[in-house]
Amino acid sequence: MEEVDAAARKVRVRDLITGRSVWETYDQLLFGTGALPLCPELPGSDAVEICGINTLESGLEIRRRLDQGGIKKVVVVGGGYIGLEMAEALIKNNLEVSLVNRPSQVMETLDEDMGALVSQALRDVGVALYLEETLTAFETSLGKVTGIVTDKRTLPADLVILGLGVRPNTELAAAAGVPLGEKGSIRVNARMETEIAGIWAAGDCAESFNLVSRKPFYVALGTVANRHGRVAGINLGGGYATFPGVVGTAVTKICHLEVARSGLQEKELRNLGLQWDSAVIKSRTKAGYYPGAGEITVKLLAERGSGRLLGGQIVGAEGSAKRIDVVATALHAGFTVEEMINLDLGYAPPFSPVWDPVVTAARELAKKL
Amino acid sequence: MAKERLIVIGGDAAGMSAAAQARRHRPELDIVVFERGPHTSFSA
């Protein structure tokens, strides 16, 4: 897609096989242009073995490079979802994996105490972790990457994976005069309609609303994209649907460790000027005596005074991550931690301790509020 | 009169979810999706 003429309701699109451009007219237009990986403009950044990863095709490209052989050392830059999941995949391919991360712990969407558990898990599975280091350059030889340079060291690399986050792909929309919002995402109303007549947006290119902070919010996740798309499609089909917003739920895993978060974390609460208390508890994923029970750590945050739940984070063994859905539902409902204590959750020894770990955390937090 | 036309830019999760819903709600709508890559709905 090369150009959108919103006034004339037409788009200029180029066929990538024939190279020919044509104008196509529309009555309604939906931007579903997604997000683009952040790629720093640093010395050597045009070498071919430096890969961002945001499409099935970019994943297949990395697979092809590994299959060609000759790759032993891989450096992953960035300790977010993409960095972690790539580190796991590379470790499972018996590669030597280093991970460079600018913050003091990986998983910046967790508070530091919970992120530290994930950092340790990465070390435990054999990832060489370099925290509080900033990428400054790529080393190349004859156009091929040979290493990366941080502010503290040089690391040799046959392949570099960038997981530095994404930005909404909205240049085309901006050029067409569509107003942008949070982090450059396309501003939409609850029906996913932009401020320009006949133009809509959904998914990683579009803005969301955070139901906990009650502020515009940008999040690039497939779950949200599917829900945005559903609402936009119903409206485009002549129906009526609205998207209320998100609470910021996300899950991932690194080998045996599951990681989950929902709501607001400490740094977001600080920025909002809210006062909160938090509780961190350790429990088991099943009844303690039941075979296969693993450790789970749950952190909950609630507003001081009102007791309203503001966020939760979970790190633990298999069976941990999806427990965040109780936290997410409580956030949607606007529950206080007192209200969470009496939630009638499922229990039998193969599934949970008699007090679910999320409820145990709510009980601990209620004592402090 | 020509059929009303919806153009979708991007054939992944959001674009294809929207196209499918629009088709269900309005079977007669003319829907065209443009996708730069070789795959659709790869994160859906």
Residue B44 pLDDT > 70: no
Residue A331 pLDDT > 60: yes
Inter-chain CB proximity A202 and B5 less than 8 Å: no
With an 8 Å Cβ cutoff, is B6 touching chain A?
Answer: yes
Per CB-CB distance under 8 Å, the chain B contacts of A32 are 8-16, 18
Residue A322 pLDDT > 70: yes
Q: What is the CATH superfamily name and number for domain A250-368?
A: FAD/NAD(P)-binding domain (3.50.50.60)
Tell how far CA A26 is from the center of its chain: 33
Put simply, the chain B residues between 7 and 26 with a CB less than 8 A from any chain A CB are: 7-26
d(CA A257, CA A127): 14
pTM of the model: 0.94
The confidence score (pLDDT) of residue A191 equals: 98
Residue A184 pLDDT > 80: yes
**pLDDT above 70 coverage of chain A, percent:** 100
How much is the mean pLDDT over chain B? 93
- In tens, the pLDDT along A98-136 reads 999 999 999 999 999 999 999 999 999 999 999 999 999
Q: What's the Cα-to-Cα distance from A87 to each of A11, A74, A100, A101, A255, rounded to whole Å? A: 40, 9, 11, 12, 9
Residue A345 pLDDT > 90: yes
Mean pLDDT for A179-207 is: 98
Inter-chain CB proximity A34 and B10 less than 8 Å: yes
Whether the CB-CB separation of A282 and A355 falls below 8 Å is answered with no
Mutate to test the interface with A, among B1, B4, B8 (most CBs of A within 10 A): B8
**Which pair of structure tokens corresponds to residue B9?**
């830019």
The confidence score (pLDDT) of residue A43 equals: 86
Per CB-CB distance under 8 Å, the chain A contacts of B34 are 1, 11, 13
Whether the CB-CB separation of A97 and A128 falls below 8 Å is answered with yes
The domain in which residue B19 lies consists of 1-44
With an 8 Å Cβ cutoff, is B5 touching chain A?
Answer: yes
Tell how far CA A215 is from the center of its chain: 18
- In tens, the pLDDT along A223-237 reads 999 999 999 999 999
The confidence score (pLDDT) of residue A215 equals: 97
Q: Which residue in this structure is represented by tokens 């503290």? A: A152
CA nearest B25 in A: which residue? A237
Cα–Cα nearest to A254, from A302, A182, A320, A311: A320
Mean pLDDT for A28-43 is: 93
Inter-chain CB proximity B42 and A238 less than 8 Å: no
User: B1 falls in which pLDDT band (50, 70, 90)?
Assistant: low
Inter-chain CB proximity B14 and A56 less than 8 Å: no
- In tens, the pLDDT along A286-321 reads 999 999 999 999 999 999 999 999 999 999 999 999
How many CB atoms are closer than 10 A to CB A9? 18
CA nearest A59 in B: which residue? B42
β partners of residue A5:
A10
Inter-chain CB proximity B5 and A205 less than 8 Å: no
How many CB atoms are closer than 10 A to CB A334? 12
The confidence score (pLDDT) of residue B20 equals: 97
Mean pLDDT for A169-179 is: 98
Instruction: Specify the DSSP class assigned to residue A323.
Output: G
With an 8 Å Cβ cutoff, is B36 touching chain A?
Answer: yes
**Which of A24, A26, A34 is nearest residue B12 as measured by Cβ atoms?**
A34
CATH number, domain A37-166, options 3.40.50.300, 3.40.50.12780, 3.40.50.1450, 3.50.50.60? 3.50.50.60
A3-31+170-236 topology per CATH: FAD/NAD(P)-binding domain (3.50.50)
Locate the domains of chain A by residue range: 3-31+170-236, 37-166, 250-368
**Which pair of structure tokens corresponds to residue A348?**
């039998």
Per CB-CB distance under 8 Å, the chain A contacts of B6 are 26-30, 236
> Is A37-166 the same fold as A3-31+170-236?
yes
Per CB-CB distance under 8 Å, the chain A contacts of B39 are 55-57
**Which of B4, B14, B42 is nearest residue A55 as measured by Cβ atoms?**
B42
Mutate to test the interface with A, among B4, B12, B26, B35 (most CBs of A within 10 A): B12
Q: Which residue in this structure is represented by tokens 């998100």? A: A246
Inter-chain CB proximity B9 and A228 less than 8 Å: no
The confidence score (pLDDT) of residue B3 equals: 87
Mean pLDDT for B5-30 is: 97
Residue A326 pLDDT > 90: yes
With an 8 Å Cβ cutoff, is B39 touching chain A?
Answer: yes
- CA-based nearest distance A1→chain B, Å: 7
